[in-house]
Amino acid sequence: MKNSNKILFWLVILLALITRIVFLDRIPSSLYTDEIDQGYNAYSIMKTGRDEHGVFWPVSFRSFGDWKPPLQTYLMMPFIYLFGLNETSVRLPSVLLGLGTIVLTYYLVCELFRGFGKAEKLALLASFFLAISPWHILQSRSAMLVIISLFFLEGGVLFFVKGTNNSKYYLLSAGFFALSVYAYYGLRVVAPLLLLVLVIIYRKRIKFAHIEIILGIAVGLLMMLPLLL
């Protein structure tokens, strides 16, 4: 990355951070019911190992007549441990992974447009537009499942594409895709289909018998084993 592009990149990240973290405990004005429920369950598991219904480290949280995927609740735990049970702790995972998605977007665009020229400028534009997206800002300031799932889904795509040039990235791709399934129920359908599309598109560059691919499949299945059970 050129020095001028580095400066622009970090300015984009700074802008994204400011728009997502300033007055985080007050904007939105209060926690909504799902945020409260997830925060309380994170606190309960941290203290007792069980959720509000007494289930030991569940892979799906029962709440208000529906069920929630577990990843966001578990990601809240270290922040609640450090800062207490409050609005900021509940929302910080969304802020950080929202920022992470902007970083992933930069590198994904660079990877997709490698060799076409001006890839870094396109990547800067893509990350900038995501940084100022009202939808993304709002989602990143609340404990929204979609913002967590987007980070892991995009990470899975990025590392898969990088894996076609360096097979060691397939392990990371498998881990990110597997975690995305724990973040949002819709990705139980979307993630496998997207992975299938990637395999079809890049089939000529994939060495299917490579050890990293075999290990990646094994890691992905192992990570999803609690959900499958």
For residue range 107-154, list pLDDT tens digits in order.
999 999 987 778 899 999 999 999 999 999 999 999 989 999 999 999
> Which residues face 63 on adjacent strands?
66
H helix or E strand, kind and range, residue 202: none
Cα 10 off chain centre by: 20
What is the chain's length?
229
Q: What is the pLDDT of residue 64?
A: 75
- The C-alpha angle 95, 97, 99, rounded to 5 degrees, equals 70
Is pLDDT of 66 > 90?
no
- The C-alpha angle 113, 114, 119, rounded to 5 degrees, equals 60
pTM equals 0.92
What is the rounded distance in angstroms from the CA atom of residue 171 to the CA atom of residue 183?
19
Distances, alpha carbon 41 to alpha carbons 2, 53, 61, 119, 133, in Å: 45, 9, 8, 43, 30
54 or 4: whose pLDDT is higher? 54
What is the rounded distance in angstroms from the CA atom of residue 51 to the CA atom of residue 45?
5
Is pLDDT of 1 > 80?
no
* Residue tagged 């490579």 (tokens): 210
Is pLDDT of 65 > 90?
no
* Tens-digit pLDDT profile for residues 21-54: 999 999 888 888 889 999 999 999 999 999 998 9
- The C-alpha angle 127, 129, 131, rounded to 5 degrees, equals 65
Q: What is the pLDDT of residue 212?
A: 81
CB 183 within 8 A of CB 148: yes
What is the rounded distance in angstroms from the CA atom of residue 68 to the CA atom of residue 47?
20
Across the range 162-189, mean pLDDT stands at 93
Is pLDDT of 3 > 80?
no
- In sequence order, what are the residues at sequence separation of 6 or more whose Cβ sits closer than 8 angstroms to the Cβ of residue 139? 94, 98, 146, 147
Cα 163 off chain centre by: 19
Confidence band, pLDDT 50/70/90 cuts, at residue 209? low
